[in-house]
Amino acid sequence: MIRLIGYFFGIGTVLFLMVAAGVAWYIGDISKDLPDYEVLNSYEPPVTTRVHSASGELMAEYARQRRLFLPIQAIPDRVKAAFLSAEDKNFYSHPGVDPVGLTRAVINNIRTGARQGASTITQQVAKNFLLTSDQTYERKIKEAILSFRIEQAYSKDRILELYLNEIFFGMNAYGIAGAALTYFNKSVNELSISETAYLAALPKAPANYHPFRHPERAIERRNWVVDRMVENGYVRAADGAEAKQEPLGVTPRKTGSYLFASEYFAEEVRRELIGRYGNDALYEGGLSVRTTLDPRLQVIARKALQKGLMNYDERRGFRGPVTRIDTSGDWGTPLSEIDPLRDVPEWKLAVVLSASDDAVEVGLRPGREVSGAVAEERPTGTILAEDMKWAFRVNLDGERARNVKKASEVLTPGDVVYVEPYDKDGTQGLRLRQPPKIQGALVAMDPHTGRVLAMVGGFSFAQSEFNRATQAERQPGSAFKPFVYAAALDNGYTPASVVLDAPIEIVSGGELWKPKNYGGGSAGPSTLRLGIERSRNLMTVRLAQDMGMNLVAEYAERFGVYDDMLPVLAMSLGSGETTVMRMASAYSVLANGGKQIKPSLIDRIQDRYGKTIFKHEERSCDACIATAWLSQEEPEVVDTREQVLDPMTAYQITSMMEGVVTRGTAAGKIKLDRPTAGKTGTTNEEKDAWFMGYTADLVAGVFIGFDNPTPMGRGSTGGALAAPVFNEFMQGALEGTRPADFRVPQGMKLIAINRKTGMQAFEGEGDVIMEAFKPGTGPSDVYSVIGLEEFATGDAITTISPQANQAVNNGVGGLY
């Protein structure tokens, strides 16, 4: 018997050694092709790029995987405890594979026939980072081998850090920090026991525990995690019982733009980041972007532009409802399916339920719950006739505008419209609104740095994402004239130089061009100041002809209005196309004393490690880094920007444009408590309306027009449409700030002159103005008129270069 037992023992030993050798060979063979676990040293997961305003408020996030990396030291103990309880309670004691858990899983698999995983957190790290998700024994063996190696190479905290930052939680959220924001709009430090347990329940199968599709399963799984936390001693029993009674409380964080009214600005920043670094850097690089946006000014700019667009639109009457729905049954559901203008929260969609002569009863769009279900309540309201008076002028497509007298002639049951709730002196009501067809843009800029403080690219980003501040190429009309006059003042002319304002005809390539002043007529000999104040086209053409269009083109390109301007006379009247952003930048040069600037929407960009990779500020200050006071000179910021215009010329043109505001085409439209310079601009048939203006420290430009250039109607000039928007914005933007005068360059002389003749005024003479002159210049002693000799001889027809033929044929002349 003993020999038999020995015999079988020997056979068993041999078989065991053979199996062991086979396993060793198999493991060795598998190990040859294992990924290099040392790549975990250079772990750089896709991380969300975050864009902030100048004040630090979050504007937008961009990511393929919504993840924010958190070092293990920043993750609260409660969060760690929840995940250890849910996934691997022996994590800090096992060597990478949990023998107890593995044995339990094998027994359960044999007993039930179902597959139960027994992966530790280390094994999940190995799978997620280095292997596939194939459900095979070979993959599990590779996973176990890698887990042992990872445990030998890295600390437990490092492994847990990798796990908590990599795992997928559903709803495109990756990592614990991203999940906390996505599900609860909280940082990990703010999570409750219930919320932490729910997040720990998700990695096993996010789709199975979706908070809205499977709320019962989600709560059951969350409660199971809470029980494990209590069982493992991480949470007191009473706190666990209380946590299990709480609802899930999931409040998904919205995506896109987070800061009110910043959609156009954020989208422009997104395009710039892609242009600089590419899509992958934007959506995976974890950039931190600090923009130049001033949230307060942005809200003011949005309100001012929207008000101006609505004022124009409502004067043209009501164009009909947004759409129509059936109100015979439940009108709430079909109304809830119509998307409102998301970025105009002041307005609500409503459906007309009944209409009488003096009022309209409407049902307001019910809200949608986070789960997507339509709210049960069906709120209603009343639009009184006095709150829709503007709509009594009905202007339906294909019909001639007509005036009506009853509310029921404007709206009928089933019409879907926008309304705006109001509360005035305790009286609540609804005003009828309609999204305007007219569009526009507003840009506000710091003239000394080029920082764009506010930018609105249209009435509503939800209505149209096309940014009219940066993407729309429009004719600036007379808003371009200051650069013609600046070129003249920089090259021997003075504000008192006199140019003939009289009819002129120009022949080019056999075509006759006859520019005219707006409203017709002419004023005869007039000073440059009067020409710009009254926006005289005929004077501008003669002035440009006298000094040469090549010079005008050079200055236009120097200011950045155009890249390559065609040197033809029609261009002197603003017939070329440019953007509001370019014009605001060019006017900033006038406002800051002639220094070239680079308009910027971004102050600073940092990579995922906090290293600054872009900075808008290019000025240097070597002495600013001093660590102690050693009687040295005060630090001085060295300004290396190019001087593109004589500071004295900049002040002269600024002084002349102050006259535009006080006496000229914008008189009565701008009402600010400080010196303001600006210029109106209107193109042929009133297709484009502009106002560009500035105070000592703020530049703003406004454009209004249809996207498809269409006449806006007689009188729709820059002074009538754009200037009030500028005024509305500046009043709000400058509120509470100290008024400042424009800076007068040293050596500038102020001399009293006759506004009409440009000659020095005598004591007691009327119609006198103090005019700015550069050293060595002054009012002329002899009355001289540019263009008068040619006009007096009857040679009013001038031939210009054949290049102008194209401009004339394209109808770009005759702007005002």
What type of residue is 62?
Answer: Y
Active site residue 161: no
* CA–CA gap between residue 444 and residue 584 (Å, rounded): 7
> Scanning the structure block, which residue is given the tokens 């002040």?
651
CB neighbour list of residue 262: distance below 8 Å, 6 or more residues apart: 53, 59, 60, 293, 295, 298
- Enter the DSSP assignment of 318: B
CA–CA dist 781, 755 (Å, integer)? 15
Retrieve residue 727's tokens: 């005024």
Instruction: Give residue 44's region: left, alpha or beta (phi > 0; psi -120 to 50).
Output: beta
Among residues 659, 644, 660, 670, the alpha carbon closest in space to that of 588 is found at: 644
String of DSSP letters for 528-579? HHHHHHTT-HHHHHHHHHHH-HHHHHHHHHHHTS-SS----GGGGGT-S-B-
Residue 618 CB burial class (10 angstroms; 0-12, 13-18, ≥19): exposed
- Catalytic annotation, pick one of 478, 600, 655, 716: 478
For residues 202 and 196, the answer to whether their CB atoms sit within 8 Å is no
Long-range contacts of 557-562 (CB under 8 A, 24+ apart): 558/644, 558/645, 559/483, 559/486, 559/585, 559/586, 559/589, 559/644, 559/645, 560/585, 560/586, 560/589, 561/476, 561/480, 561/483, 561/586
Q: 């390109």: which residue's tokens?
A: 557
Residue 390, helix vs strand vs coil: helix
Please tell me what DSSP assigns to residue 386: G
* Cα-Cα end-to-end distance for the chain: 121
CA distance 102 to 329: 60
Give the SS3 label for residue 754.
strand
**Is residue 87 annotated as part of the catalytic site, yes or no?**
yes
Sheet holding 524-527, edge to edge: 524-527, 498-501, 785-786
H or E segment and range at residue 804: helix 804-809
Count of CB atoms situated within 10 Å of the CB of 816: 24
Question: Cα-flanking dihedrals φ and ψ of residue 294, to 5°?
Answer: -100, 110
Q: Name the catalytic one among 53, 61, 85, 87.
A: 87
Residue pair 501/538 in contact by the 8 Å Cβ criterion: yes
Looking at this protein, which amino acid is placed at residue 306?
Q
Residue 134 burial class via C-beta count within 10 angstroms: exposed 0-12, middle 13-18, buried 19 and up: exposed
Helical segments of 68-98, H only: 77-87
Instruction: Name the 3-class secondary structure at 71.
Output: coil
**What are the φ/ψ torsions at residue 453 (nearest 5 degrees)?**
-90, -25
Report, as residue numbers or ranges, the catalytic residues: 87, 478
